[in-house]
Amino acid sequence: MEGMLQHFRKDEQPFIERVNGWVTEVEDRYTPKLTGFLDPRQRYIVRAIAGSGDFVLSEFGGLPGAERQRMIIAPSYYEAQPGDEEISVMEIRYPSKFIEIGHRDVLGSLTGLGIDRARFGDIRTGDGVVQFAADASLTDYLIANLQAVGKAKVRIAEVRSQEEFLPLAEQYQEESLTVSSLRLDTVIAGALNLSRQKSAMLIQSGKVKVNHAVRESVSYELSDSDLLSVRGHGRIRIEEIGGRTKKERIRLVIGKLI
């Protein structure tokens, strides 16, 4: 356990301990463990820890191409069956002629009902419609209690046909670059073609998130599968951290939201 913690950030240690608890549970009970919805970095950590053992790992997001997904950590005998992921895709409809509902509005309404963020996944918006993935055990509760989002009265139902799922609108374009270090200010400057000073200003003014958490330290070190959000500049994914060049610069493959 102690050796594993050294490979990750200090603020990730509580999550790593949870993952180790899941792994121990699977080993002791010899039954699959279904997680909540995890972001890409969290799933990377699960794969790093459980992938080295005799386990079968599966990932499910409900919506196609989902960023947030549930995982099943299971003994080697396990074969996933339909429904094992326990995900419902819910749909909200509202009169878009009078109001527009965004991702943040739905997120606020769900957490306002006391629902933990790990119990629902991606939220997608369309014209007068919003869809989101949720823990299947919440289906009846959501239908009974989610009657408004912000000031808008809404109708909510479960989407039962995959053909009705909203498509993934976001697309990432891969780019390769080299950086002198994995510091947050250095990577943002390289990825967005900004000066280090401008990059530092964005970070210190609270305009940068890493894995959905605001980071104001310019020296915060990035790692595989991190997701960056820079206000006014879009999103960046760390796809791959490669070796070093002859000049000792680090090779990176990133995905930029287009």
- pLDDT tens digits for range 80-136: 888 999 999 999 999 888 888 988 899 999 999 999 999 999 999 988 999 999 999
Euclidean distance between CA atoms 174 and 182, whole angstroms: 18
Q: What is the DSSP string of 73-138?
A: EEETT----TTTT-EEEEEEE--TTT----HHHHHHHHHHTT--GGGEEEEEEETTEEEEEEEGGG
CATH of domain 172-257: 3.10.290.10
Task: Kindly report the CATH class assigned to 87-164.
Answer: alpha beta
Query: Per-residue confidence of the chain (258 residues) as pLDDT tens digits?
Result: 455 556 688 889 999 999 999 999 999 999 999 999 999 999 999 999 998 778 999 999 999 999 999 999 999 989 888 899 999 999 999 988 888 898 889 999 999 999 999 999 999 998 899 999 999 999 999 999 999 998 889 999 999 999 999 988 777 899 999 999 999 999 999 999 999 999 999 999 999 999 989 999 999 999 999 999 999 999 999 999 999 999 999 999 999 986
DSSP 8-state secondary structure symbol assigned to residue 62: S
Domain locations along the chain: 2-75, 87-164, 172-257
What's the fold here for domain 2-75? Ribosomal Protein S8; Chain: A, domain 1 (3.30.1370)
Euclidean distance between CA atoms 30 and 42, whole angstroms: 23
The letter for the amino acid at 49 is I
Helix, strand, coil percent content, the chain, rounded in steps of 5: 30, 35, 35
